[in-house]
Chain A
Amino acid sequence: GAGVSQTPSNKVTEKGKYVELRCDPISGHTALYWYRQSLGQGPEFLIYFQGTGAADDSGLPNDRFFAVRPEGSVSTLKIQRTERGDSAVYLCASRLGDRSYSEQFFGPGTRLTVL
């Protein structure tokens, strides 16, 4: 079956621009996560959705970052006024159900480069 997919795989933008990153979770997975991974680091949590609502957005670094999941499936991470420090790999993961111990399945990530 299809895994978690993310588009685009690579995104290069200029400082100050707006970007959108898309995540298609595994069909039927109600939980969706966004993480950010900087070079040489482990992934850092950004936001968690259970269904359509953001159950936990405590990891978003500031108000330039926003994410939506309007129909409880596809999610879009939106970054306004991008800064060079936003350059990283943005990973999406999905999980079946609301049991926190169950496995999170990760997508291949979107590599964002802000020039």
Chain B
Amino acid sequence: SQELEQSPQSLIVQEGKNLTINCTSSKTLYGLYWYKQKYGEGLIFLMMLQKGGEEKSHEKITAKLDEKKQQSSLHITASQPSHAGIYLCGALDQTGANNLFFGTGTRLTVIP
């Protein structure tokens, strides 16, 4: 089965600072998903990356998938308190797989 390692496990930043969260796999990723979760709420979809070298942005969040499709990063520019939460990467471990395997998450705290 797929194993995803996220780093760091937790992150505390001052409002306005940039930050990066990493997600690494020992196997090729056929689809990499980033979700955000707040306490008591479900997972909110952020972005999905599929091709090696792909990069997507939405507002102040940018996600990249490396050429080998084994590592993804999530970068937040000029962080805000609304960015606080748990960020989870999930992946399909083979073409045609239907379920996602998730990392353990990165807890982000943004200090106003």
Contact = CB atoms under 8 A, between A and B. Distances in A.
B6 to A, nearest CB: 8
Nearest to B6: A42
Nearest to A34: B99
A59 B42 contact: no
Nearest to A109: B42
Identify the interface centre among B33, B102, B104: most chain A CB within 10 Å of its CB. Answer: B102
B102 A105 contact: no
A48 B98 contact: yes
Contacts of A91: 42-43
Contact of A42 (B41, B92, B105): B105
Interface residues of A, number: 27
B98 to A, nearest CB: 5
Given A56-B99, A100-B97, A101-B92, A43 B43 contact: yes
Given A100-B96, A100-B97, A108-B42, A43 B102 contact: yes
A1 interface: no
Given A4-B42, A105-B45, A107-B42, A45 B100 contact: yes
Interface in B16-55: 31, 33, 35, 40-45, 48, 50
A12 interface: no
Interface in B93-112: 96-105
A44 interface: yes
Contacts of A100: 31, 92, 96-98
Given A4-B42, A48-B98, 16 more contacts: A3-B42, A31-B98, A40-B104, A40-B105, A41-B104, A42-B90, A43-B100, A50-B98, A55-B98, A56-B99, A59-B99, A101-B31, A103-B45, A106-B44, A106-B45, A109-B41
Interface of A: 3-4, 9, 31, 33, 40-45, 48, 50, 55-56, 59, 91, 93, 100-101, 103-109
Interface of B: 4, 31, 33, 35, 40-45, 48, 50, 88, 90, 92, 96-105
